Structure 1
Amino acid sequence: MPLAHVSGGLPADSRPIVFDGSMPAAPGDLRVEGHGIEPVPESNRYGGPWRLFTVWFAPNLTMTGVFTGTIGVALGLDFGTALTAVVLGTVVGALPTAYLSTWGGLTGTGQLPLARLAFGRAVALPGLLQWLSSVAWDALIGLFGGDALARLCGWPFWVGVLVMMAAQGALGVLGYEAIHRLQIVMTFVLAVAFAVIAWRMLDGVHPATTGSATGADHMGAFVLTSTIALSLSLSWAPYASDFSRYLPRATSRPRMFWCTLLGLVVSFVAVQALGLWGASVLTDQTAAGVEELLGGGAAGAFGLLAVALAAALAAALGFPLVLWMHAADTTARFQNVLLFVGYWIPGFVAIVVVDWIARARERAGAPVDLAVETARPFPAWPSLLAFVAAFGAAVPFMDTGLYVGPVADALHGADFSYYVAFLVALALYTPLRLRRRA
């Protein structure tokens, strides 16, 4: 999607229209979206909050989530303990994403453009990090989708990845309504596919009733498993309002919140629980585990096709990263990428939320008017300082295969970096934002 300069501060009827391209205007309108990052006009808003459930549910029914679930058992936890950690982390990460999702209906604007209110020109930094994170997520999804497509068609792995990424890019070009419509269909298709996988697991696949981790190592593994689950659901936060920006301003915010929250939590917990349950046959095997589990034939082909279709719901640029993860030690490399792509997000969330709440109080109940909000420029250094400091403070608490911080090492692998980054950004930015207001 092209970028545009928004001329904030001018009356709505005199601002130059930088992108007045085509955009969907009703459910089923599949015209290619060329509107850019300008707010969606109220005349083009449509749909209800229920759409947010499917748009947040279907993309997460992927082998990425299943493979993430296997990590808890690999770290030495039993099924019940690992599942508790997964549920806890998923809910904590989904809460801010669901809250940010409600901003789309109020403003008609995507999440990163809205972040300019807090970051000003410094939004280029989280924008760059978001782009790099998107590349990494494309690689995580392409790893499984490309593998499934290659096995289904008898191709080399790299050919399956290239075909998968071409399909992903085509979907990204079609835009908002095409993604919504496809995800409604895929919600049912993928639910059936993963239900079939779960049904086949009943025949001879048993969840781990005991774990190898004990004492402080057990607690460290619990925290790390929870943080990995948190990273999945929180990774959607920088895109949250992108999928709700076409909803009418009058759409119920509580319903938007709950539809988003349920879509994220139900899907992520379901696939990670599946991974925990089938860790013995799925670990480090990606799509091969699915094919073996379903026994080949029509059932195996259906499972592989479902994995490939799920991967096609994302856009792609991460071909070299896919090949790197697939080359060796997939579990460790997968975990590293999964954590690294999200370390910047907690600080980002804290800053934009504090700024949003401060602006709401300054408006004293008046509706959000982005032209008015952008007409009040603030210096970028407070948000930039808090953002960088939050990331720096989190470094000693990180636990990955490439780097283990001294605090995480002392805590037997417990990774509290996401929580530290959020709290540090909150503590630094709040007084600076209040002082700026004064």
Structure 2
Amino acid sequence: MTATEPTTDGSYRNKLVAVEPGGNEFIAEEDRHGKPSQLFWTWTSPNLEFATIYVGVLAVAFYGMSFWQAVVGIVIGTGLGAVAHYFLSARGPLHGVPQMVLGRLAFGFKGNAVPAVLMSVTAGVGWFATNSVSGAYALAALFGIGPLLALVIVVLVQTAFAFFGHNLVQAFERWSFPVLAVIFAVASVAILMKSHVGAPALPSGVGGLGGFLLTVGTAFGYAAGWTPYAADYTRYLPSSVSTAATGLFASAGLFLSCAVLEIVGAASVTIGPALSKNPTEAFTGELASPIAKATLLAIAIGAIAANSINIYSGAMAFVTIGIKLPSHVARALVTVFFGVAGFLVAKWALPDAAQSYEAFLLVIAYWIGPWLGVVFADQYMRRDQRIAGFLYDRSYSNWLGLASFAIGMVVSVLLFSNQEKFVGVVAKAVPQLGDVTFFVGFLLAGGLYLLMCRSKIAAERLAV
């Protein structure tokens, strides 16, 4: 286990309109640049979009929460996701590799392919399609064009940013931040002023503890959905930067953007339904015309900001699986592949954009919960251990880590899943629990890893 880390050559550094060379190599010090504060807009901009708003809509319109109950559930769920994001982001400058490369410690080189594929599919296809649809609907409503043409425009722009790579993606998040922040701030104030925050919960929703836990789970799924990307956007920072500041700026941007817009989404439901087959138009229908048009533009820009990150990290995760491609084209080519795949899924989803959004958010949490449990348990047991020799060693295995993940995910889903297509044994017997699959998966997978992998990691600590 003394594999040499492949490294960048110092030629990329802070270039913008240049295709990022290589794939998932260690970032050499000559290529490091930036400061932790930039992470605030890196993680604010991609969440200033309609998908974030719709999490709050779900809490009130479908889960049967009053506005204030929704606020509490949103803050708890988003807060838990932001805490996880803090710790994973902080590792980027220290180790200089993408998040899924770090995952090889917990799952082994080959075993890590399982979460890497899951992340590639949910990010590069699932989230890409979800956000592309909202962006397309916004452009269609704003310019009076067909949704399919709008979808083509959105997909081409966001795929182009991700194709060039890390530096251009980070730059776009910075450029879009002031525009998105100002427009959404104005729209949020307008919605909150018209809302009826003291209105009772809708009788048609789930209600009770079950509805509250669904709210927490959905908000967590949305925020924690970014955690498998965390180190991808901090690995270029100089190794000398503060890890605490790195984690703080990343998690603060994530928490504030998600919590604020989700709360605004919850408030919008208390105003009354807006009649439209276009979900983004339904939301902006409550706003005065100039603000509504600006908000539609911001929704489209926000979708591009989110998907530039989704497709970049989805491609990065896919490259991490270990498929051998020429290093100078691997990530860029895979980016194009996911752009095409995401477009096809988004085109299929256009006729009924909101139908599967709730299920998608919860399913993300189904695998991310146990994944986080294993990753954090591994990180805890390897504290202060030198790990460089393990990350690119194709012979390194940790099958007990993969087993912990699989058991945690399968058992939690079979017992606690509460989906339209499948209801777990416990959820069926005690429906008032709502859906706590992600909590159970996290605790079970993490606990199993601590029990089963302790001796292996202790032996590795002595060996290095």
TM-score of the aligned structures, taking structure 2 as reference length: 0.84
* 1:90-115, Cα deviation, whole Å (9 max, x unpaired): 00111111100111100110001111
The percentage of counterpart residues that share the same residue type is: 28
How far, CA to CA, are the matches of 1:128 and 1:302 in structure 2?
Answer: 37
Q: Give the distance between the partners of 1:29 and 1:69, measured in 2 at CA.
A: 36
1:302 paired with 2:302, answer no
Shift of 1:42: 1.1
Cα 1:113–1:245 change in 2 (3 A) is same
> Which of 115, 118, 124 pairs up with 1:126?
115
User: Which whole-Å CA distance do the structure 2 matches of 1:115 and 1:34 have between them?
Assistant: 22
Deviations 1:20-60 (A, max 9, x none): 5952x24x644321131001001211111101111111111
Q: Distance in 2 between matches of 1:204 and 1:60?
A: 23
Aligned to 1:399: 418
Q: 1:150 aligns with which of 140, 155, 158?
A: 140
Instruction: Report the CA distance shift for 1:126/1:215 in structure 2 as closer, same or farther (over 3 A).
Output: closer
* 1:104 partner amino acid: G
How far did residue 208 of structure 1 move? Answer: 5.5
Residue pairs, 1:32-431, within 5 angstroms: 32-74=19-61, 75-120=63-108, 121-134=110-123, 135-202=125-192, 204-207=194-197, 209-212=199-202, 217-279=207-269, 280-281=272-273, 285-296=278-289, 298-313=290-305, 314=307, 315=311, 316=339, 317-328=341-352, 330-361=353-384, 363=385, 368=386, 370-371=388-389, 378-395=396-413, 396-409=415-428, 410-412=430-432, 414-431=434-451
Distance 1:168 1:210, change over 3 A: same
SS at structure 1 position matched to 2:134: helix
How far residue 247 of structure 1 moved from its aligned partner, in angstroms, is 0.7
Q: What amino acid does structure 2 have at the position aligned with 1:292? A: G
Shift of 1:199: 3.2
Please give the secondary structure, in 1, of the residue aligned with 2:35. coil
Count of residues in Structure 1 that have an aligned counterpart in Structure 2: 418
Deviations 1:374-424 (A, max 9, x none): 569653320111111011111121222322223223132511101111111
How far off its partner does 1:128 sit? Answer: 0.9
What secondary structure does 2:419 align onto?
coil
Q: Report the more deviating stretch, 391-400 or 406-415.
A: 406-415
Distance (whole Å) between structure 1 residues aligned to residue 366 and residue 225 of structure 2? 9
User: Counterpart in 2 of 1:5?
Assistant: none
Instruction: Specify the SS of the correspondent of 1:294.
Output: coil
Cα distance change, pair 378–148 in 1 and its aligned pair in 2 (3 A): same
Mean Cα deviation higher: 310-319 or 136-145:
310-319
Name the aligned partner's letter for residue 47 of structure 1.
G
Q: Which stretches in structure 1 are left out of the alignment for 5+ residues?
A: 1-7
Secondary structure of the structure 1 residue equivalent to 2:90 = helix
- Decide whether aligned partners of structure 1 residues 21 and 136 sit closer, same or farther in structure 2, where only a CA change above 3 A counts: farther
CA RMSD of aligned residues (A): 2.5
TM-score, normalised on structure 1?
Answer: 0.88
| CA shift in 2, pair 1:250/1:213, >3 Å | farther
Contact 2:105 2:398 in 1 (8 A): no
SS in structure 2 opposite 1:94?
helix
CA displacement 1:143-178 (0-9 Å, x = unmatched): 210101122222221221122111110010121121
CA drift of 1:354 comes to 2.1
In the TM superposition, structure 1's runs of 4+ consecutive aligned residues that sit over 6 Å from their partners are: none
Deviation per CA, 1:260-307: give whole Å up to 9, x if none. 1211110000110110010234697521124422343x4333221111
Distance 1:232 1:62, change over 3 A: same
Taking the aligned partners of 1:108 and 1:418, their CA distance within structure 2 comes to 29
Shift of 1:318: 2.5
- What secondary structure does 1:249 align onto? coil
| Contact 1:45–1:248 (Cα < 8 Å) also in 2 | yes
Contact 1:133 1:342 in 2 (8 A): no
